[in-house]
Every structure is written in structure tokens, then in C-alpha cells.
């Protein structure tokens, strides 16, 4: 079976990262997989002993998010890549669903660009369609046809997705983006991404126009975490909430 590399870049969000790792551990995919975690928070050294989880602790802050994403791919060994953002939730069927779409449709790139919108105080409010780069999966062959993520912070995702779109138009890759609005065979039960907004410490998307957004993130995240841990940290994967039940309850009431 094809190996899937899940790519997680993180900075000073231990509690959220532990939930992201738990998402990976709960995946139903039976094939080989790995979770690559890139941590460049200089006062946190993260540890988690698991054969499918690799953590790079860097004492030096990456200059841009784009370079950090490219590094996660450089360290991976999979045939397919999917981003595993540290502040969102991926339901257990994510890898299975995406790999079935890729293999059954002979695709190089797939994205179900619809997500549950989740507030940490109010729960799921609705499903919504957006760019949601974190929903995508693409092959190594497709990636090497690009120049990678742009060496920028805000916009590194749209930079590479524009390249995928051009490759698709030039008939060099097979690409599919869909949602429940465009494909009547899809339902909300197929959605595998819970996008967290309210209550999450410092989204890049709201600092991207800063002169120095990474420094803004550094200050806000270090200031926002109560009892913030430093030094060697043994990660303990877990979910703070039963997200499967939350999703099922939301779907049942809509």
C-alpha cells in the first residue's frame, strides 16, 4: 500500500499539538503512514516515542512558514503528502477517504474543500467551503513538478496551489476539488476536517500583513498560554473533547 506522510509544523502550542497527534493515532488507514512534526520553538524540546511519529526540534526559527513546510516534505518518506495543521482536528477517516479518492480516480491531487467550522467556546456552528489547504492531499510526483511552497508566511499555501492548478491545466497532473455542493454523492458524514477559529492562539491568517508576523505569533502565543511549559516536554496525545460525538450530534440536528 502507498505510504502517506502527514506534515505538521508547530510553534508553542503543546496542548493543541497533542490533539493533532491524537488525530493521527486514530486514523483508520491500514497502510504505512508517518507524522512529521517540525518544532522551531527555541525553549521547548518536544518528545514522543512512537514508530510512526518523527519530531525535529530546531533551535533556530525558520524564516518563513513556506520554508518550514518545504522542510517537512524534505524529511518525509511517503508517496503522498497531507498537511496536518497543529490547531485543527482531523477525523479518523481522513487518510482512508483521501487515499480512496486518489487511487479510484487516478488523481495526483485531491481536496474536499469543505470543513466543519468550530469555535472552542461554542462548538460546531456550520460547515463551510473555503481554500482549506489543510484539506488537501497530493502525490510526491506532483510536488516535485512545483517549486514548492513560497518563501513567505501568509500566502505560501496559495502559492503552491496555483502551481498545482497550472499543472492540471497543462494536463501534467490529475486534480479534483469538490464539496457537498458540487458532488451530490458527498454528505457531511464524509467531511474529515474541523477548522478551529474562536479561542485558538494567534492564527497566521490574521497576522499575515504584519511587517514581522512570526514575531507577532511568538509574542502572542507565549503570552496566551497559562502555565506554559518550557524545556524537555513529553507529549501526551489526547482529545480534549469527543469530536466524533460532536460532529454526529451536529449532523443529526441538520
- pLDDT bucket at 95, cuts 50 / 70 / 90: very high
Domain CATH for 39? 3.90.550.10
pLDDT at 228: 82
Question: Crossing angle of helices 65-74/156-169, nearest 10°?
Answer: 60
Average pLDDT over residues 139-168: 95
Lowest mean pLDDT among 93-102, 141-150, 193-202: 193-202
pLDDT at 240: 94
Q: Quick one: 252 exposed, middle or buried, by C-beta within 10 A (0-12, 13-18, 19+)?
A: exposed
Q: CA 94 to CA 29: how far, in whole Å?
A: 8
pLDDT at 209: 54
- Average pLDDT value for the chain: 90
Average pLDDT over residues 130-146: 96
At residue 211, does pLDDT exceed 90?
A: no
- Other C-beta atoms closer than 10 Å to the C-beta of 203 total 13
At residue 195, does pLDDT exceed 80?
A: yes
Contact 215, 136 (CB under 8 A): no
* Residue in 6, 1, 32 with CA at minimum distance from that of residue 192: 6
- pLDDT bucket at 218, cuts 50 / 70 / 90: low
- Domain of residue 30 covers 4-252
Average pLDDT over residues 24-29: 98
Beta strands across the sheet bearing 193-196: 89-90, 193-196, 114-119, 123-129
- The domain total for the chain is 1
Lowest mean pLDDT among 39-48, 74-83, 106-115, 224-233: 224-233
Average pLDDT over residues 211-216: 57
Q: CA 209 to CA 247: how far, in whole Å?
A: 33
Amino acid at each position: 500500500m502507498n505510504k502517506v506522510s502527514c506534515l505538521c509544523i508547530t510553534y508553542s502550542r503543546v496542548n493543541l499539538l497533542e490533539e493533532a497527534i491524537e488525530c493521527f493515532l486514530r486514523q483508520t488507514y491500514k497502510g504505512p503512514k508517518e507524522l512529521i512534526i517540525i518544532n522551531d520553538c527555541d525553549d521547548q524540546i518536544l518528545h514522543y516515542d512512537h514508530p510512526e511519529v518523527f519530531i525535529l526540534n530546531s533551535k533556530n526559527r525558520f524564516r518563513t512558514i513556506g520554508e518550514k513546510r518545504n522542510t517537512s516534505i524534505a524529511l518525509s518518506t511517503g508517496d503522498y503528502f497531507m498537511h496536518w495543521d497543529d490547531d485543527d482536528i482531523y477525523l479518523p477517516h481522513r487518510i482512508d477517504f483521501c487515499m480512496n479518492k486518489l487511487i479510484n480516480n487516478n488523481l495526483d491531487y485531491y481536496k474536499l474543500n469543505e470543513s466543519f467550522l468550530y469555535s472552542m467556546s461554542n462548538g460546531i456552528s456550520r460547515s463551510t467551503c473555503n481554500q482549506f489547504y489543510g484539506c488537501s492531499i497530493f502525490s510526491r510526483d506532483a510536488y516535485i513538478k512545483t517549486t514548492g511552497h513560497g518563501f513567505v508566511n501568509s500566502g505560501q499555501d496559495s502559492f503552491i496551489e496555483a502551481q498545482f492548478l497550472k499543472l492540471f491545466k497543462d494536463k501534467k497532473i490529475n486534480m479534483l476539488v469538490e464539496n457537498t455542493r458540487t458532488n451530490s454523492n458527498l454528505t457531511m458524514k464524509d467531511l474529515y476536517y474541523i477548522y478551529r477559529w474562536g479561542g485558538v492562539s494567534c492564527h497566521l491568517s490574521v497576522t499575515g500583513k504584519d511587517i514581522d508576523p512570526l514575531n507577532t505569533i511568538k509574542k502572542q502565543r507565549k503570552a496566551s498560554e497559562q502555565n506554559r511549559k518550557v524545556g524537555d516536554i513529553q507529549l501526551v496525545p489526547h482529545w480534549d473533547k469527543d469530536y466524533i460525538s460532536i460532529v454526529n450530534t451536529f449532523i443529526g440536528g441538520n
